Homo-oligomer: A and B are copies of this chain.
Amino acid sequence: MADNKKMVEDITSMDVDFAQWYTDVVRKAELIDYTSVKGCMVIKPAGYAIWELIQRQLDDRFKETGVENVYLPMFIPESLLEKEKDHVEGFAPEVAWVTQGGLEPLQEKLCVRPTSETLFCDFYKNDIQSYRDLPKVYNQWCSVVRWEKETRPFLRSREFLWQEGHTAHATAEDAEARTIQMLNVYAAFCEEVLAIPVLKGQKTEKEKFAGAEATYTIEALMHDGKALQSGTSHNFGDGFAKAFGIQFTDKDNTLKYVHQTSWGVTTRLIGAIIMVHGDNDGLVLPPRVAPIQVCIVPIQQKKEGVLDKAYELRDRLKGIARVKVDDTDKTPGYKFAEAEMRGYPIRVEIGPKDIEAGKCVIVRRDTREKTEVALTDLESKVPELLDQIQHEMLERARTHRDEHTYVAKDYEEFKKIFSEKSGFVKAMWCGDRACEDKIKEDLSVTSRCMPFDQETLSDVCVCCGKPAKKMVYWGRAY
């Protein structure tokens, strides 16, 4: 038992130091490794398999709404990046520049895409001629680069994986509808697949995307009470279309500018899974994104028939769940600790006595609850339990979020909450950037979103006392 104790002792308690706990889990669960390339990470098999499950399920949901996948170049010529003024101002300070190709200097330097609005515009400019060519609802899965100074695995790194959807529409209404539709796809995906409840709303002017008319966001609450922006959807209106000259001949035979959107989620979602569901023994994966859903641990595996029975159970569960047998030569205790660290939703223990009694022990990762199950019931019990775990993980996360959501009616109360507690604070806002700036300055707190579900908590801004325009969720954010 020394081994498994050691494994757990190596993790800092989340109550002592949440940031260190996070880093420990990410390493001990073998999700990532650091590299010689500063600010870039290796996503190891256990981490990448989660991303593949996210990709597969999100991509299916995209395609149900008519999204088509494409691939655009990773390089953006400087002159192209500069075409939309707000956009270049937002991104130029944090891009990586290629200045040499082969043995020669480039005539025009190329940035490695930090996002691909400008490339899609350049492409759409030629690809769209008529209303018949609309809408374009394209998406790509790729990596992007932003030259961040401070980096953290999954949350902020110089290169990260994501999908970026870029659409073009005939009317402003169509663009707005697609922007909201994709936000809803993200929200449903987070709740149904990642078991993470999210707030849906609009970003303030200050917080919106460089070049967007409106940015919508889904915001999740981590276990430590900090907010994580988990996905965004932008409506560009015809701003990019005008900058790039993307026009089409409409049914009435007049030339019009298209209306555009973009929307993306990243490997940051893996960070959200860790920080919403994890505990002091490691990762806790929601079944729908768990690369291994059931880990069978044979007890006294050297005794005749034990390993064979474990393999038999695995074979019976194949096609029902993602299952593996831990048949390594480690001790059962070590295997239990490792299965917990890696967040496998269900552990099945099977030893000689169990076999004799025709049963096994099933242990839930999320609640540690142990149940004896007749071996004959395994095929019905496992999927039922996986569904139950998925459902209860979402409900626990929702309860945690709701219990850490507060209301502040004046600035004293607002400051008091943020000095004593950690979570979302709902408060009214006048709409002025000055108040956002002051709140950030005073408390390192930012507006997370103006939720679609507005409430009137009071008539005045929580900060300046002037008439309120919007209810805002505020928080400290990753």
Interface residues of A (CB under 8 A from B): 33, 35-37, 40-45, 48-49, 51-52, 68-77, 80, 93-103, 109-110, 112, 119, 122-123, 126-127, 138, 142-143, 145, 147, 158-159, 161
Contact = CB atoms under 8 A, between A and B. Distances in A.
Most chain B CB within a 10 A radius of its CB, from A49, A112, A122: A112
Contacts of A48: 68-71
Contacts of A122: 35-36
B98 A36 contact: no
Contact of A42 (B95, B109, B112, B123): B123
Given A69-B52, A143-B142, A119 B35 contact: yes
The 9 lowest CB-CB distance pairs between A and B, nearest first, are A40-B73, A45-B68, A102-B147, A97-B100, A43-B71, A101-B147, A37-B73, A99-B99, A96-B98
Most chain B CB within a 10 A radius of its CB, from A52, A123, A142, A161: A123
A72 B123 contact: no
Most chain B CB within a 10 A radius of its CB, from A40, A73, A158: A73
Contacts of A123: 33, 35, 42
A294 B123 CA distance: 29
Contacts of A110: 37, 96
B73 A98 contact: no
Contact of A75 (B37, B93, B127): B37
A142 B159 CA distance: 13
A37 B69 CA distance: 20
Given A35-B119, A145-B74, A69 B45 contact: yes
